[in-house]
């Protein structure tokens, strides 16, 4: 390749206008022996790229080690730990439910008026208790009536006295 062509390619190269093929041509040219003095350093640069490309990982040990790692499935990390975690998750879910139910029940109970809460489940027992309560009330009423009769007596007597006084005045 003549030096004009190389010069042109190099200019394109520095301006990042070369195609991959043209860069390959440059690489091949600078691999040669007879490089003019003006491009000696440039040639070193291209040789630097070449040398770097020669760096390889071509040891069989790498492939063998890799294949061994690929073929052995990754160790299942702590089955016990996983079961423990799952149990923990379920337990947490259940406890949240329990607490929620408890709170909701409390809330409902508080918002219901006390008198509406049933006290007895057995109707017979309820009847007995009702009777007892009514008896108590009627007994109290009886006592109250007796006292009221006494007051009534005083009242009548007072009225009698007033009538007598009025007659005398007439």
Which residues of the chain form contacts with other proteins (CB under 8 A)?
A: 13-16, 20, 23-24, 33, 38, 40-42, 44-45, 47-49, 51-53, 55-58, 62-63, 65-66, 69-71, 74
Residues 6+ apart with CB under 8 A from 45: none
Q: How far is the CB of 77 from other proteins (least distance, A)?
A: 14
3-state DSSP assignment of residue 2: coil
By C-beta, is 20 or 117 nearer to other proteins? 20
Q: CB–CB of 25/7 below 8 Å?
A: no
Q: How far is the CB of 83 from other proteins (least distance, A)?
A: 24
- Per-residue exposure over 87-112, b if at least 16 CB sit within 10 Å of its own CB, e if not: eeeeeeeeeeeeeeeeeeeeeeeeee
By C-beta, is 48 or 120 nearer to other proteins? 48
By C-beta, is 69 or 149 nearer to other proteins? 69
Q: Counting Cβ atoms within 10 Å, is residue 25 exposed (0-12), middle (13-18) or buried (19+)? A: middle
Q: How far is the CB of 47 from other proteins (least distance, A)?
A: 7
By C-beta, is 53 or 147 nearer to other proteins? 53
Q: How far is the CB of 2 from other proteins (least distance, A)?
A: 22
């Amino acid at each position: 390749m003549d030096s004009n062509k190389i010069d042109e390619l190099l200019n394109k190269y520095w301006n990042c206008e070369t195609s991959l093929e043209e860069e390959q041509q440059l690489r091949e040219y600078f691999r040669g022996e007879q490089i003019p003095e003006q491009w000696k350093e440039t040639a070193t640069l291209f040789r630097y790229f070449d040398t770097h490309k020669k760096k390889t990982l071509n040891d069989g040990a790498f492939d063998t080690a890799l294949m061994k790692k690929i073929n052995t499935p990754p160790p299942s990390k702590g089955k016990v730990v996983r079961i423990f975690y799952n149990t923990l998750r379920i337990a947490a879910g259940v406890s949240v439910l329990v607490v929620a139910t408890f709170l909701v029940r409390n809330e409902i109970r508080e918002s219901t008026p006390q008198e509406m809460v049933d006290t007895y489940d057995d109707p017979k027992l309820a009847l007995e208790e009702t009777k007892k309560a009514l008896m108590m009330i009627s007994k109290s009423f009886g006592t109250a009536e007796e006292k009221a009769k006494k007051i009534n007596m005083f009242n009548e007597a007072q009225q009698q006295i007033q009538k007598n006084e009025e007659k005398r005045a007439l």
